[in-house]
Amino acid sequence: MTLNTEIIHRNRPIAVFDSGVGGISVLQHIHALLPNETLHYFADSRHAPYGSKTPAEIEARCFEVADFLIGQGAKALVVACNTATAAAIAAMRTKYALPVFGMEPAVKPAAEASQNGIIGVLATTGTLKSAQFAGLLESYGRHVKVVTQACVGLVECVERGELHAENTLKLVAQYCQPLLDQGADTIVLGCTHYPFVRPLIEQVAGSRVVLIDTGAAVATHLQKRLAALDLLTSRGEAGRVWFWTNSEAKNAQQVIEELWGMPAEVLTLQVLPCR
């Protein structure tokens, strides 16, 4: 659909969502780069992880969340989830008349950073099985060895706020060791939840292994695209950041505030209203 910037006010919010709280890692980069923008974040924790769902289920869920966020006035959508991007980004860009930004595992920068030509990828099963990931390997993985590891259960640890728990460390070690055993000197954090356990990954992998995620790159691309479309806010003061969650956990706000790093305005919304 053709973007009509005349009907999208530049002071409206940028909306970000993920299958839970992981996309807050991307939100942090966006907020740091664009501090005057109003930001809306939806944590679809009730349906996390997307990686265990079919592409059709993920696409339907993305439409539902996007409809809600657009109903809140979003001028742009950031799909802060590698799995959701792979399953739904093309359909979303067709359906919605506003900029839609996605994520993809950082295979290209990892291949460029690797010294020995062996890179590891930690991701969900859905991301690793996607056509998008296969395309990344075809485009950027031809001259390097790419070893992958699906990390079942790690997203759930982050959703519970168990960032330093012994069980989380055991999972990190279980998933990182096969990559290290095959000689990976660079590891891609292929899920937006994983930067929150980066200290544990560094503990297991050691200081010589380079860890790469794409949050900063997404924020930079967002800034450049919105500037080109004349959609950056004209406000001179700091923008507000709002969170919605459909988590059923009693500590949902506590987890969001821990990941965000400061007190947060969090609204619980179990059922998304129709637009």
Q: Please identify every residue annotated as catalytic.
A: 81, 191
Q: How many CB atoms lie within 10 A of CB 140?
A: 18
* Backbone dihedral angles phi then psi of residue 7, each to the nearest 5 degrees: -100, 0
Q: How many CB atoms lie within 10 A of CB 242?
A: 17
Of 212, 181, 233, nearest in space to 73 by CA? 233
Q: Is 230 exposed, middle or buried (0-12, 13-18, 19+ CB in 10 A)?
A: exposed
Residue 253 CB neighbours (<10 A): 18
In 3D space, the residue among 33, 44, 70 whose CA is nearest the CA of residue 192 turns out to be: 44
Give residue for tokens 């400061």: 262
DSSP string for 5-35: GGGS-TTSPEEEEESSSTTHHHHHHHHHH-T
